[in-house]
Amino acid sequence: MVKQSLLLFFMGLSLISYSQTVQENLVQKEIEKKSQFLQVSNSTAGQNIDVKHYRCEWEIDPAVRRINGKVTTTFVVKSDTATQIIFDFYNGLTVDSVKYGTQKLAFGFSTQNLFWIKTGTIFYLNELKSISIFYKGIPNNSGFGAFNKQNHAGQPIIWTLSCPYAARDWWPCKQNLEDKADSIDLIITSPSNCKAAGNGILIGETASGNFKTYHWKHKYPIATYLIATAVTNYASFTNKVHLPSQNPGDSLPIVNFVYPESLNGALISTQKIIPILQFYDSLVAPYPFRKEKYGHAQFGWGGGMEHQTMSFMTDFSFGLQAHELAHQWFGDFITCKSWRDIWLNEGWATYMAAISENRFGVTGLSSWLTSSQNSVKAQANGSVWVSDTTNINRIFDYRLTYLKGALVLHMLRWEIGNAAFWQGVRNYQADPSLGFGFSSTANFIQHLETSSGKNLSEFLNDWFTGQGYPTYNLKLIKNGLNMQLTINQTTSHPSVPFFEMKVPVRFRATGFDTVLIFKNDSSGQIFNFVLPFSPTTITFDPEKWIIAKNTVQIITANEDLIQPKNGINIFPNPFSEILTIENNYGKPIEVKIFDSLGKMIIVKNLATEIQQKIDLSKFSSGNYIVKYRDATEEKVIKVVKR
């Protein structure tokens, strides 16, 4: 939701186009605003219905902070029988009447935010019903939340922002992360000098005296918190883009509602969204709402909010546009099913914006990785997973939800490989059980495991639910062209005793430059290998894949290479085709090699003090296990074939 500079949670600032300090200040400012009105919703509303459609008819004058409304909810009954329906709704608003057809129904508030309706007759399982609620008044004035009145250039504006729990503050609804309305109609009447922005397609404008009514229709499933409107003296214009997924000659309208004083700049800056839309459409999946539109509406928050098909924007910087657009796939099309998994929205939008800014030359990915990793490492604790959804500061923590969430996605690319990562993402977006619905972290990871063939449970335990990060100490001992690298690791937080990772190390000398990858499974692990040159420098993780601190040491003296304590020497590790095993026991031993499924593929008898080269070129890349038995126990060593 938020953008890289991440406003708060659903808003977006430009992550890369601003300095890190500016971003953090903006995020904190937004958090302070949001924390004034956000509450946890353990709502029991709507449990016996499945919402199919909202028809929202609102009278809004931006000069007056007030709403007159009629909301008609069409739903299917989920229980065997229903005599009462409950909605999320703020009791400070006045309800004039509730109707089922022409029949008036009894109603009342059971708590501040729960509104009950007696059906008057029994509603039965799977019946399709509609109930209309007529109401008016001043929406809940909880901070700068749900229903906001401001001014721009001396002109009034009212805009809404419901994420995550504030829709009920200004209209009756079923507010949760379990049920999306299949479609909506937004019908907004306001003074004739104003325009009303909304979700979907504008299908009608009707003038009546000094008032004008705008009718927006959206025919895609939509989460309650993504429904929005904004009313002021907007200037509007439309750009068009042809997407890679579209047929020749087709185009998607990009509808922009901007302040008149911002029009000249917006005409230029909103052009930036065109190549980003084309990029996302080809990289991830076809734009989810391509039968309707995408667009922007300018508003007075300090960032952006990814309202479905029309993001609300404070400005039109590249990073903010990229962030909010990414939410149309990650957050709108597929929505997190719990605020605990908010990284599926915000981590993704942050990462996509960083990739976009790198691709289009705004900010290099390397500089973004450096600043983002430094921010995450500024504290020793913190998980991506949100353990306390009652804490607004934690849900939308810039360091953890946005930056660490984005960096975990980056590390997943490293862990399973670029091709498998993006194929898994495309499969995730194409999953019919998730599209236009809700997703958990487990749903997302399952697609990455399927595309890569790897079990990511340990990775998630370390990097998603676990806290902190590793610190590596690398020690290289050179003896001619024979190398021995020892990798030691400590962790910043006791929730993770060890981060199992592929560790890339660059070895350089005049005229030579190579990167080797070491599968680090334990602290103090020793890797023996041969290089065709004597390195003068080594660099840990040169492309910044891993959130980590590190120190490196090279010993150039001609000292004997320390043999691993397990009694045999295996190198190189990782290897490409040939694995060399050296027996240092002083007696013959039998060595067995198993693939990742536990199938034994090779048995070798090694004579003492003999190096034996084992050809594994016909086997696929991946993890292998070398087992042998010494005088007391069976030894197990992991090796990796690139």
Domain containing 347 — which CATH number?
1.10.390.10
How many CB atoms lie under 10 A from the CB of residue 610? 10
Query: Of 54-63, 198-207, 388-397, which range is least confident?
Result: 388-397
How are beta strands 304-305 and 311-313 bridged, if at all? antiparallel
Give residue 466's Cα distance to chain centre: 18
Say whether both 376 and 418 belong to one domain.
yes
Closest alpha carbon to 181 in 216, 146, 224, 130: 224
Determine, yes or no, domain membership for 18: no
Mean pLDDT of 313-336: 97
The verdict on 384 and 511 lying in the same domain is: no
337 and 459 assigned to the same domain: yes
pLDDT for residue 559: 46
Angle between helices 405-416 and 418-430 (to 10 degrees): 120
What's the pLDDT score for residue 289?
98
Better-scored residue on pLDDT, 560 or 596: 596
Residues 460 and 476 in one domain: no
The percent helix, strand, coil of the chain (3-state, each to 5) is: 20, 40, 40
In three-state secondary structure terms, 41 is coil
What burial class does residue 426 get, using C-beta atoms within 10 Å of its C-beta: 0-12 exposed, 13-18 middle, 19+ buried? middle
Instruction: State how far the Cα of 225 lies from the Cα of 34, in Å rounded to an integer.
Output: 14
CB 345 within 8 A of CB 4: no
Q: Examine residue 221 and say whether the peptide bond preceding it is cis (omega within 30 degrees of 0).
A: no
**Which of 403, 436, 465 represents a domain boundary (last residue)?**
465
d(CA 434, CA 442): 12
Last residue of a domain, one of 555, 586, 618: 555
b/e string for 391-407 if b means 16 or more Cβ within 10 A? ebebbbbbbbbbbbbbb
Residues 456 and 490 in one domain: no
Interatomic CA distance for residues 347 and 273, integer angstroms: 20
pLDDT at 18 over 60: no
436 and 334 both lie in a single domain:
yes
Q: Are residues 406 and 425 in the same domain?
A: yes
pLDDT, tens digit, 9 for 90 and up, residues 162-194: 988 899 999 999 999 999 999 999 999 999 999
Distance CA 399, CA 213 (A): 43
Residue 571 has pLDDT above 80, yes or no: no
Over 60: is that where the pLDDT of 111 sits? yes
pLDDT score, position 35? 41
Quick one: average pLDDT of 111-128?
94
The reply to whether 368 and 476 lie within a common domain is no
Which own/partner contact pairs does 550-558 have at CB distance under 8 Å and 24+ positions apart? 550/471, 550/472, 550/473, 550/474, 551/471, 551/472, 551/473, 551/474, 552/473, 552/474, 552/475, 552/476, 553/473, 553/474, 553/475, 553/476, 554/476, 554/478, 555/475, 555/476, 555/477, 555/478, 556/478, 558/479
The CATH number given to whatever domain includes residue 528 is 2.60.40.1910
- Residue 136 pLDDT exceeds 50: yes
Q: Domain for residue 636, yes or no? A: yes
Instruction: Identify whether residues 460 and 474 lie together within a single domain.
Output: no
Domain presence at residue 495: yes
Last residue of one domain, picked from the residues 523, 555, 587: 555
Domain total in the chain: 3
302 within domain boundaries: no
Closest CA to 338 of 42, 23, 14: 42
pLDDT category at 302 given cuts 50, 70, 90 is confident
pTM: 0.82
The reply to whether 8 falls in a domain is no
Residue 258 within any structural domain of the chain: no
Identify whether residues 399 and 529 lie together within a single domain.
no
Cβ 230 vs Cβ 300: under 8 Å: no
- Model confidence pLDDT, tens digit, residues 20-37: 443 444 444 444 444 433
Distance CA 320, CA 10 (A): 12
Confidence of residue 141 (pLDDT cuts 50, 70, 90): low
Chain centroid, CA 143 distance in Å: 26
Q: Which residues pair with 124 in a beta bridge?
A: 81
pLDDT at position 7 is 37
Answer whether residue 262 is part of any domain.
no
Q: Is residue 108 part of a domain?
A: no
Q: What is the pLDDT of residue 611?
A: 72
CATH number at residue 595: 2.60.40.3080
Mind listing the pLDDT tens digit for each residue in 374-392? Answer: 999 999 999 999 998 877 7
Residues 376 and 426 in one domain: yes
Asked whether the predicted pLDDT for residue 444 surpasses 60, the reply is yes
Q: Which domain holds residue 379?
A: 327-465
**CA 398, 401, 402 angle in degrees (round to 5)?**
60
Q: Are residues 431 and 506 in the same domain?
A: no
